[in-house]
Structure 1
Amino acid sequence: MSTATVEKIEAIQLDIPFSQYGPPAGFGGTNWTTANYLIVAVTASDGIVGYGEAFGYNAIPATRAALEKTVAPLLLGKPCENIGACMAALEKPLHIFGRSGPVQYALSGLDIALWDMAGKRAGISVARMLGHGGRGGVRAYASLLKAGEAKPLQKVCVALAEEGHTAIKLHETEPGLAIAAREALGPAADLMLDVNCAWDVPGAREAAGRLVPARLKWLEEPVWPPENVAGLLQVSGIGPEIAAGENCANAVAFDELASSAALAYLQPSVTKVGGISAFLRIGHLAAVRGKRLAPHSPYFGPGLLATLQMAAVFADIEMVEYFGVRLEAPIFGGIELPDDRGILAIPDGPGLGADPDPDVMRRYRAN
C-alpha cells in the first residue's frame, strides 16, 4: 500500500457573530463582535481530510499569509502519515522565521490537522491512538471578556452560574472586581483571574495580596513581560497560585516555566505552541516537574476539540477553558458546547471526534 501524501492545504477563516452578557469588549485594542477562527483543512491522496486550527483572532491575516505563502508549499506532495517526521521537516528549515508567531501558529494548525487525519485513518480518536480514552467529559470554565465594572460583571457571573457553570475566569485588572465576582458567585464556584501581563512586579505583588478575599483558584500571567519568570517567582506565595504559558513560544520554551517554583499551572495553547505534538511533550514535562495542566483554549474550532482530546490523555486536566459567549452558529453542531452541568463532552469519534459543519463553514466563511 502506497504512503499517503498531502494533496491540498486550505486556510478557511470563519467570522461568526456572537452575543454576550456583558458590555462590548475584546482583546488587542479592539472590541469584538465576531469570533474569528482560522481552520486548516489538509487533504491527503487517500481522500482523508484532517482539520486543524491556527491562532488566531486579530493575528489571522498574518497567520494565514504565513501558512499559504511560506509553510504549506513545503508540505504539498510530501508523505503525511509519520507526523513526527513531517513536522520536523517543516520546523527545521522554517525556524529562522521565528519559533513563535505566525509561522509557529501555522505549524500548530497543520499538526492538529495531521493528527485528525491519522485518527480518521485508524478509525479511532486521537486519545485512543495514544492509548487513552474513556473519559466522557471534562468540566468547562467560562472565560469572560472584560466587563470593567462590578455590577455588569456580577450580572454575568450570576447568569452563567444559573446556566450550570461551576467555574469562571475573569479578564479584569482591578482586584476589587474579582472580589465582587466572588461575592456574586458564592463560595462554591471556582474563580480564576487572567490579567494578561498587566502589572509590573511591585504592582503584581500588591494586587496578589489584595486578591486573597476573592479566593482564586489561580492568578494568570500577573507580570509583564510574560517571559519574566523571575518576576513570577516574586509574586508567588503572596496570594493565589500562579498560572502561565499561553504566550510560551514552543514546547522547548516551557522548560524554564516548568522548572520554576513560581508556577502551579502550565497553560499550553494547542493552536499556538506547535499543535498536539507539542502539547504532548509539555504534558509529559508537567508530569515530571510536578505541575498541573490548565490548557489555554478559548476556541470553538478544531483547537477546542484537540484540547478535549488532550484532556482524555492527561487525566490531571481538571478543567478546559471555554470562551464564554454565545455563537450565532456552533461550528460542530453543538457537541462543543457545555451541558447544563457545565461539562464539555469529549468526542470519541475518529480523529478529533467530529468535523466542522459544512453549512456553517459556507455561511460564515470570510471573503
Structure 2
Amino acid sequence: MKITNVRAHHIRIPYDAGPASFRQGASAISALDMVVVEVTTDGGLTGWGDAFACVCPRTTCTAVDEMIAPQARGQDVPEPENIPRLMEQIQRNLHLFGRYGITMFAISGLDIALWDLAAKINGVPLHRLIGGAKRAKIPAYASLLRIGKPDAIAGECEGARKRGYSAIKLHETTTPAVFAARQAIGDGVPLMVDMNCPLSGKDAIAFAHACRDAAPMFLEEPVWPPEDFATLAQVRRQGGLDIAAGENACTEYQFRQMMNAGAVSHAQPSVIKVGGITEFLKVAAAADELGVTIIPHSPYFGPGFLATLQLMSVRGEGYIEAFYMKRAANLWRDRVDVDANGNIAVPEGPGLGYEPDLNVMEQYRVS
C-alpha cells in the first residue's frame, strides 16, 4: 500500500473560557486553531495526524505542504517497526530547515498519521502496537487559561472540581493566584502551576519559596529561556519544588539533555511538537531510564489528543491535560469528554480510535 497524498487542513473552532484569556503579543485568542494532517493511500485507508499550529496555522500548513508531503508521497506505508526509520530519514532530509519548531511540528503530524494508518492496517487500536493498554481510562487535569484575578481563579477551580476533574493546572505567575486556587480546591488535590517561561533563575527560586505552602505538585517552565537547562536545574535544587518542562522541547535528544542536567522531575513531551508518536516513545523510554515522570503536554483537540490518550494508556500512571473551556464543536463529538470521576476513556477503535467528524471539519475549515 502506497501513500498517495498528504494534505494539511486548517481548522478553527471558537471557544469560551469564561474569565480566562490568552494573549499572544497584542492579540487576544478566542478560537482553537489546529492543523489536521490527512494521509491518503491507494488502499483506501486514511491516516490522521496533528501538527502544532496555535497562532501560526498557515505557516504549519505550508510546512506540511512544501516540506513534508513531497517526502511522503509515493512511499510505501511503513510497517510499525519501520516508521522510526522513515521518520529519521525525513528528519535528516529536512535538518537544514531547523531541527525544532515548525519543521518538527509538521513532521509530528505525518508521524501520527502513519501510526494511525499502521494500526488501522492491523485492525487494532494504536495502544496494541506500542505495548498494550494498562488502563482503559486516563485521569484528566483541568488546564485553565490565564485569568489573573484570584477570585475568578477560585471560581473556575471550584467549577472544574464540580465537573469531576481530580487535579488543576493554573497558567499564572503570582503567589495570590496560587494560594487562591489552593484554598478553593482544598488540601490533597494536585495543583500544578504553568508559568510559561517568565523569570530569571533567581526570581524563579524566590517564587518557588513564596508559594511552597500552597504545595504545588510542580512549577512548569518558570525560567526564560526554556532551553536553559542548567538554570532550570538550579531552580529545582534550590527552590524546594518539583519542576516540569518539555512542551517547548523537540526530539529525544533535547529531552535527554534536559533530564541529564537534572532540570526536571516531570517531562512534558507534546506529541504534536516533539516529533510525533515515534519521538514521544523515545522520550518516555529515556524518562523511565532516568527516573523522570512523564506528564504530557496535551491541551489540544485534534488527533494529537487521541494519540496522547493511546500513549498514556500503555503507562501505568499519569494524567492527561485537558483545556478547561467550552467549544463550539468537537471533531470527536462527545466521545472524549471528561466523565463524572474526572477520567477520559481510551478509544478502542482501529488506529487512534475515532475518525474525525468531516462535517465539523468542513464547517470550521479556514480556506
Shorter-normalised TM-score: what interval? over 0.9
Give 1:45 shift: 1.4
Greater mean alpha carbon deviation, residues 326-335 or residues 268-277: 326-335
Q: Where do 5+ consecutive residues of structure 1 fail to align?
A: none
Q: 2:21 aligns with which of 24, 31, 34?
A: 24
Q: Which residue does the alignment assign to 1:193?
A: 193
TM-score with structure 2 setting the length = 0.96
2:135, 2:315 within 8 Å by CA — same for their partners in 1? Answer: no
Kindly provide the amino acid, as one letter, of the partner of residue 44 in structure 1.
T
TM-score with structure 1 setting the length = 0.96
Q: For the residues of structure 1 that align with 2:110 and 2:264, how far apart are their CA atoms?
A: 30
Q: For the residues of structure 2 that align with 1:108 and 1:58, how far apart are their CA atoms?
A: 17
Q: For the residues of structure 1 that align with 2:46 and 2:117, how far apart are their CA atoms?
A: 6
1:158, 1:184 within 8 Å by CA — same for their partners in 2? Answer: yes
Kindly provide the amino acid, as one letter, of the partner of residue 267 in structure 1.
Q
1:120, 1:350 within 8 Å by CA — same for their partners in 2? Answer: yes
Q: For the residues of structure 2 that align with 1:160 and 1:21, how far apart are their CA atoms?
A: 12
Give 1:107 shift: 0.3
1:332, 1:355 within 8 Å by CA — same for their partners in 2? Answer: yes
**Mapped pair 1:236 → 2:236:** yes
What does 1:35-184 correspond to in 2, within 5 Å? Answer: 35-81=32-78, 82-184=82-184
Greater mean alpha carbon deviation, residues 235-244 or residues 197-206: 235-244
Kindly provide the amino acid, as one letter, of the partner of residue 144 in structure 1.
L
1:211, 1:239 within 8 Å by CA — same for their partners in 2? Answer: no
Q: Which residue does the alignment assign to 1:289?
A: 290
Q: For the residues of structure 1 that align with 2:135 and 2:161, how far apart are their CA atoms?
A: 24
Q: Which residue does the alignment assign to 1:272?
A: 273
Give 1:205 shift: 0.7
Give 1:331 shift: 1.1
What does 1:197-216 correspond to in 2, within 5 Å? Answer: 197-216=197-216
1:28, 1:58 within 8 Å by CA — same for their partners in 2? Answer: no
Change in CA separation of 1:348 and 1:28 when aligned onto 2, cut-off 3 Å: farther
Report % sequence identity: 38
Q: Which residue does the alignment assign to 1:331?
A: 331
1:283, 1:293 within 8 Å by CA — same for their partners in 2? Answer: yes
Alpha-carbon RMSD: 1.3
Give 1:19 shift: 1.2
Q: For the residues of structure 2 that align with 1:129 and 1:23, how far apart are their CA atoms?
A: 39
Greater mean alpha carbon deviation, residues 307-316 or residues 44-53: 307-316
Q: Residue 146 of structure 1: SS of its match in structure 2?
A: coil
Greater mean alpha carbon deviation, residues 96-105 or residues 83-92: 83-92
2:147, 2:172 within 8 Å by CA — same for their partners in 1? Answer: yes
Kindly provide the amino acid, as one letter, of the partner of residue 173 in structure 2.
T
Kindly provide the amino acid, as one letter, of the partner of residue 31 in structure 1.
A
Give 1:328 shift: 1.0
Q: Residue 56 of structure 2: SS of its match in structure 1?
A: helix
Q: For the residues of structure 1 that align with 2:4 and 2:183, how far apart are their CA atoms?
A: 55
Q: Which residue does the alignment assign to 1:253?
A: 254
Greater mean alpha carbon deviation, residues 23-32 or residues 92-101: 23-32
Kindly provide the amino acid, as one letter, of the partner of residue 11 in structure 2.
L
1:19, 1:325 within 8 Å by CA — same for their partners in 2? Answer: yes
Kindly provide the amino acid, as one letter, of the partner of residue 259 in structure 1.
N
State how many pairs are aligned.
363
Q: What whole-Å deviation, never above 9, does each CA across 1:33-60 have from its counterpart, x for those lacking one?
A: 1111110010011111000000021021
2:258, 2:264 within 8 Å by CA — same for their partners in 1? Answer: yes
2:5, 2:73 within 8 Å by CA — same for their partners in 1? Answer: yes
2:49, 2:111 within 8 Å by CA — same for their partners in 1? Answer: yes
Give 1:134 shift: 4.9
Change in CA separation of 1:230 and 1:116 when aligned onto 2, cut-off 3 Å: same
1:283, 1:314 within 8 Å by CA — same for their partners in 2? Answer: no
Give 1:130 shift: 1.9
1:182, 1:191 within 8 Å by CA — same for their partners in 2? Answer: yes
1:140, 1:321 within 8 Å by CA — same for their partners in 2? Answer: yes
Q: Residue 177 of structure 1: SS of its match in structure 2?
A: helix
Kindly provide the amino acid, as one letter, of the partner of residue 272 in structure 1.
K
Give 1:188 shift: 2.9
Q: For the residues of structure 2 that align with 1:137 and 1:297, how far apart are their CA atoms?
A: 16
2:252, 2:282 within 8 Å by CA — same for their partners in 1? Answer: yes
2:133, 2:315 within 8 Å by CA — same for their partners in 1? Answer: no
Q: What whole-Å deviation, never above 9, does each CA across 1:257-298 have from its counterpart, x for those lacking one?
A: 121333110100100010000000001001100110010000
Give 1:84 shift: 2.3
Q: What whole-Å deviation, never above 9, does each CA across 1:112-139 have from its counterpart, x for those lacking one?
A: 0000010000000111112312521111
Change in CA separation of 1:365 and 1:179 when aligned onto 2, cut-off 3 Å: same
Q: For the residues of structure 1 that align with 2:119 and 2:210, how far apart are their CA atoms?
A: 48
**Mapped pair 1:9 → 2:6:** yes
Q: What whole-Å deviation, never above 9, does each CA across 1:46-84 have from its counterpart, x for those lacking one?
A: 111000000021021211111111221121111122312
Q: For the residues of structure 2 that align with 1:5 and 1:153, how far apart are their CA atoms?
A: 51
Q: 1:33 aligns with which of 30, 35, 55?
A: 30
Q: List structure 1 runs of 4+ shifted beyond 3 angstroms.
A: 26-29
Q: Residue 94 of structure 2: SS of its match in structure 1?
A: helix
2:20, 2:144 within 8 Å by CA — same for their partners in 1? Answer: no
Q: Where do 5+ consecutive residues of structure 2 fail to align?
A: none
